[in-house]
Amino acid sequence: MMGGGHLMWGNLYNPDKPRVPRRVEWRRIGALFMPYWRPQSLVLACIVASSSLGLVPGFMTAQIIDAAIPKRNFHLLIVDLAVIVASALVVGAIGVAQGYLNSLVGEGIMRDIRTNLVSHLHRMPISFFTGTKTGEIMNRVSNDVDNVDNVVTGTLTQIITNVVMIATTLVAMFIWNWRLALLSTAVVPLMVLPLGPVGRRMYQVRRRTREQRDQIESITQETLSISGITLIKSFAREAFESKRFYGVGTMLMDLEIRLAMVGRWFLASVTAMVVIGPVIVWLGGGWMAIEHQLQIGVIVAFISFIQTRLYGSAATLAGIQVQIVSALAVFERIFEYLDMKTEPYDSPGAIALPEIRGDVAFENVTFGYDERRTVLEDVCFEVKSGQVAAFVGPTGAGKTTITHLVPRLYDPQEGRVLVDGHDVRAVTLDSLRRDIGVVTQETYLFHDTIESNLRYGNPQATQDEIVAAATAANIHDVISELPDGYNTIVGERGHKLSGGERQRLAIARVLLKDPRILILDEATSALDSHSEAAIQAALERVMRGRTSLVIAHRLSTVIAADVIFVLERGRIVERGSHADLLARGGPYARLYRKQFRDDPRIVAG
């Protein structure tokens, strides 16, 4: 069991998942800040002003020690102290303004990245989502983007603030006393030189840490979803999942410890330099003071500068290395997704379809979800506008795949899929999918009200139209009996409703869209006999005048179809009406006898 657990932990990623290995580009990061150059400029001005005013207490301290107190000048002492207090108040006010500007830039950039990322993911092909865990996607959209705010308002601001503080301090020190300034900067190279190798090592470990967090997010999302937790409880696997999560968490813990220890000796030496530096200044400055070449107040001011501004800032920049590495890892992961090739929405010269009539044709279509297995092979058929076409056959024959190719969720490797005589690859996706409605066996509802879920099919629908669609789908009476009616929250994936109720809501949602081409993939599979009979009558009215592609194991819909296509192993082996196919005694007749001979509702044509 343990071996199996470790195997699962090690195979959380699909090897076919698309990846774009690419190092982060500083220019690309900088482009994110360009729309906010004005507030960023004001932030820089605030930092320079605050840093410059931060020098005032040091200068005033030197004057107090060397002039006000020795000369017993109380008025001068009051003035010096007032200047110190005033500078502190001004710095505080500037800090408030800087905080607002930082938040404005950080939240704006985070909004832009999140919007671009989610919009990009919406345009990714279905194959990306089948090859990538939902938890990993959610981790990048939520946690990684949230970390951008820390980069902008925290890391970046700290870097700029400390660099400006070091620069203004060095300028002031060298102007004031260049010899003492040289002594003060003697240990700075020892604090900076090791940053390169330490940073590279941190980058490698941090990237592995983020990948491990993806795994934890994936397990959490899978096991805490309503479907996942139901499966766990059904198989009494709580202990196994706890052990699996503990194993992945332990791997993350080891990586975090390794990251914390990277450069630990370097950070320890930086801390030592913060103590050793002032000793050097006291030694040199003390000798110059003894020789009457320097005043005591200047030495005290320099010690204050190097401890609070120079060495402190250098130590902060050294310690911020982890945050810089984390920032690079975050941007790299976000750009990795943004660089993935999206669904080929519109080919060059693509035309927008006018209102669709509903003619559908396949010409020698061959398709496979990967190179190792062909699902459809040389499939040819034609469905005229307004016809009802049924696709039957054993599981895995390729029925659902056909319905995926019509709205161009996938493109065939060979052949053409035509709508109204146009190759679907030569028309815009928006115009193609605008008049195609799909109801699948696995119904998805948002965690929202019934009305909001129905309006997803037509946001402009009136209340009367919503009620009419619900009535046609045989769900209005059920909704009316609920305490909150159409304002009832359906719950996660609609699990507060029964399977049949969810299915009928999905049908009502498609009715509101009023498509010219209707795809029903096992649309009545979750209904009991009574509900199916009622909804079947509604569907027959809905399908009238539309092109309908129907997949159903139950033959109540198939009997009334204008044409039935029988698939086996990705090929169409028979086609015709229900009565004709039964009379032939071929694959359809065998399928009928095998699956439906015990169903009293089915009568041979």
For tokens 């030495």, name the residue: 299
For residue 127, the model assigns a pLDDT of 75
Position 319 scores a pLDDT of 66
Give the span between the Cα atoms of 588 and 574, in whole angstroms. Answer: 7
Is residue 453 within 8 A of residue 509, CB to CB? The reply is: yes
At 2, is the pLDDT very low, low, confident or very high (cuts 50, 70, 90)? very low
Spatial neighbors of 189 by CB under 8 A, at least 6 apart, are none
Q: What is the mean pLDDT of residues 454-482?
A: 87
C-alpha to C-alpha distance for 489 and 379, rounded to whole angstroms: 43
Across the range 303-318, mean pLDDT stands at 78
Say whether pLDDT at 593 is over 90.
no
Q: Residue 389: beta bridge partners?
A: 549, 563
Contacts of 93 (CB under 8 A, 6+ apart): none
Q: Nearest-CA neighbor of 203 among 92, 103, 323? A: 323
pLDDT above 90: residue 82: yes
Q: pLDDT grade, residue 415 (50/70/90)?
A: very high
Residue 154 contacts by C-beta under 8 Å, 6 or more apart in sequence?
323
Residue that the structure tokens 């307004």 belong to: 386
pLDDT at 602: 47
Closest CA relative to residue 549, chosen from 389, 407, 430, 398: 389
Using H for helix, E for strand and C for coil, what is the string for 133-147? CHHHHHHHHHHHHHH
Beta bridge partners of 381: 362
Q: In this structure, is the dihedral angle defined by the CA atoms of residues 528, 534, 540 and 542, taken in order, positive or negative? A: negative
> In this structure, is the dihedral angle defined by the CA atoms of residues 90, 93, 95 and 101, taken in order, positive or negative?
negative
Looking at residue 449, the DSSP 8-state letter turns out to be B
CB 394 within 8 A of CB 408: no
The whole-number pLDDT of residue 345 equals: 67
CA distance 602 to 597: 8
pLDDT in tens, 423-453: 999 998 888 888 888 887 777 788 888 888 8
Domains, the chain, in order of start with CATH, read 8-338 (1.20.1560.10), 368-435+520-605 (3.40.50.300), 443-514 (3.40.50.300)
Burial code (b: 16+ CB inside 10 Å, e: under 16) for 583-601 equals eeeebbbebbeeebeeeee
Q: Write b or e for each residue in 178-187: b if 16 or more Cβ atoms lie within 10 A of its Cβ, otherwise e.
A: eebbebbbeb
Q: For tokens 């040289």, what's the residue?
A: 182
C-alpha distances out from residue 556 to 63, 450, 530, 586, Å:
99, 29, 13, 20
CA-based R_g, the chain, Å: 35
User: In angstroms, rounded to a whole number, what is the distance separating the alpha carbons of residues 434 and 368?
Assistant: 26
At residue 27, the 3 state secondary structure works out as: helix
* pLDDT category of residue 89 using cuts at 50, 70 and 90: very high
Asked if residue 383 has pLDDT above 90, the reply is yes
C-alpha angle 208/210/215, rounded to 5°?
Answer: 95
Q: At 498, is the secondary structure helix, strand, or coil?
A: coil
Torsion of CA 442, 448, 449, 453, to 10 degrees: -50
Average per-residue pLDDT for the chain: 80
Ramachandran sector of residue 398 (left: φ over 0; alpha: ψ -120 to 50; beta: rest): left
Per DSSP, the three-state class of 555 is: helix
Q: What single-letter DSSP state applies at residue 448?
A: S
Q: What is the pLDDT of residue 384?
A: 92
Between 418 and 2, the more confident residue is 418
With 60 as the cut, is the pLDDT of residue 198 above it? Answer: yes
- What pLDDT band is residue 599 in, cutting at 50, 70 and 90? low
Encoded amino acid at 475, one letter: I
- 3-class DSSP assignment, residue 70: coil
Owner of token pair 């006018």: 354
Q: Are strands 563-568 and 571-576 parallel, antiparallel or unpaired?
A: antiparallel
Distance (Å, whole) CA 11 – CA 16: 12
Task: Supply the DSSP string of 391-426, one letter for each residue.
Answer: EE-STTSSHHHHHHHTTTSS--SEEEEEETTEEGGG
Torsion from C-alpha of 232, 236, 239, 242, nearest 10 degrees: 10
The span from the CA of 95 to the CA of 43, in Å, is 10
For the ranges 31-35, 298-302, 557-561, the lowest mean pLDDT is seen at 557-561
Higher pLDDT, 436 or 152: 436
Other CB atoms closer than 10 Å to residue 86's CB: what's the count? 12
Give the H or E element holding residue 565: strand 563-568
pLDDT (tens digit, 9 = 90+) per residue, 323-379? 676 677 778 778 888 888 877 667 778 888 888 888 999 999 999 887 778 899 999
Q: Kindly give the pairing relationship between strand 388-392 and strand 547-551.
A: parallel
Distance CA 600, CA 186 (A): 96
Mean pLDDT in residue range 51-59: 88
Return all residues near 231 (Cβ < 8 A) that are at least 6 apart: 237
Alpha-carbon distances, residue 487 vs 87, 446, 465 (angstroms):
58, 13, 16
